[in-house]
Structure 1
Amino acid sequence: MDATTPYSIGELSRRTGLSVRTIRFYSDSGVVAPTTRSPAGYRLYGLDALRRLELLRTLRELGMDLATIQRVLDRELSVAEVAAAHADAMDVQIRVLQLRRSVLRVLAGREASPEETTLMHRLTQLSCEERRRLIDDFVESTFGMGDAAPAAVTMVRAATPDLPDDATSEQVAAWVELAELVGDEDFRARMRRTAVNQAAGRPLDIECAAGDELMELTRQKVAEAVDSGIDPHSDRSATVVDDLVHRLAEVLARTPDTGFRHWMAQQFEEAHDPRVDRYWRLVWIVNGWQVVPNLIPVYPWLIQALRNDRDA
């Protein structure tokens, strides 16, 4: 059979892999038109119909809808234009699927309640713009007052959490926790107070009174305890904390008792609220940033250890 020989529907089916019924449907829809008919009245198709069907099948297998394909076949749209648009659409679908996969992995790794499952799904379904709007609203409501330090706002905006399209299960879990955290009014108040103090670079009253040398020793001792995995609520923390309490009490001319311990904890809490520190850690996780050890706050550990009611 040469290029001038008309094809029957059966021959087109054999050459294109499409069923006779499908080709007949396309013919009735006007996608391909018969060139002529056989003496018996059967439809016969030319080479153009074969090429149109081959292209149609290829585009259908790539997921394009019939209406768009019809416009390509009629030369209203180029293959390049349609392919580019379709590729963009597939990118969106891939991102959605990747995020759903991460959510499922989080759910598979823990016993989530129905309410938590629904919340996680809803929060991760937000578009990139909606997620950014959620954080922008948090920043505006937290630092929108006229007395907010510009440096604090800059610090928070520079570390805007941005959930990646191929987020890991850890990043999804962190994003969900972060989204809940920024919606809490009490947390917003704490964040504002702490961030303003940190951005201003003002030392705490206890730091000024104790002096640079003793405070550096305090940070060093606590950092070593944190690196060693010592639980601040355990008996192992007593040796570290008791030593620091006695050193600070001596310098400040105070009695190293339970009241002094609680006063110390209150002093450190002014700039190192545990929930605020948790916020920054979640931001690191969501953004996929490497946690730099010397930037991990040590005061939250000390605060928890001081809250253990031990008498000196």
Structure 2
Amino acid sequence: MNLPTIAVTMGDAAGVGPEVVVRALVEPEVRGLARCVVVGDAARLARAAEICGVDVRFKTVGSPAEATGEAGVIDVLDLGIIPADLPFGELSEVAGEGAFQYVAKAAELAMAGEVQAICTAPLNKAALHAAGHRYPGHTELLAELCGVPEVSMMLSTGKVRVIHVTTHIGLVDAIERIDPGLVERTVRRGHRTMVDSGIAEPKIAVCGINPHAGENGLFGRGEEEEKIVPALESCRADGIDAQGPLPADTVFFRAGRGDFDLVVAMYHDQGHGPVKILGLEAGVNITVGLPVIRTSVDHGTAFDIAGTGRAEAGSLVEALRQGAALARRP
């Protein structure tokens, strides 16, 4: 089987990242999805395995090509940054630096074509900033490291995939920012991601902005005709099956029954709400527009339970599942 290779970043070493990584990578299902190599610290992972009571061996590799993914073994690109006495559950500049270096190494591997996806365990933004790396989070950091000016957020579940034209800005600002160029670039990024994951001719539904997608100008101020229609005409001229603008109140039902492979949401809550009603544990955050797919867990560093062995790995397993499904095949 031609499995993709996924770089799994360990995240903040003082948080639950090491524990969830260990728990996830010993799952037989994960070994059948992808060849995984952890970018992190082998000694910290071994400590996490001890805390969690997981019987596993760690093999240090020099490159992803050396990873074998054999049962009972976790392959690690060991950067050796974390001191043995680093406490769990406490903000640490050293852990912030480690988290940055793990992501930087994963980005380097992606740019070199050595991995087909990146899956990130959680980092702590305050620790990242304390180490001198002032990024809002993984997305902006990876975009800069990979030299990519614009990326898109996609949420993926077993039933629905949604890519967003705008995300973390107010609704009034979102409507102002939406323009034909941004809509077109988002649709094309989504289309490319679907094609790369093996869907040769994806069906894409594009939401309107206003109720009933404007109802032919009855609602709103003509935003659909001005901001969305020109983008879709351009995409369709290149053979992309992008339907819309469609009413958002029905399009997610249609996507859930299989009418569409991807929904394009215009703003944050339009896309996030329908996905999260399916269950927070079902949704995976995906960054598209990078040289590779990047998926992430849907939780933070959880300092309150870090080092206790109580952290669950379900979110990381789902992130690995989605990353493997969307990754380009080597």
Q: TM-score, normalised by structure 1?
A: 0.25
| Larger RCO (alpha carbons 8 Å, 6+ apart) | 2
The answer to which structure has the higher strand fraction is 2
The answer to which structure has the higher helix fraction is 1
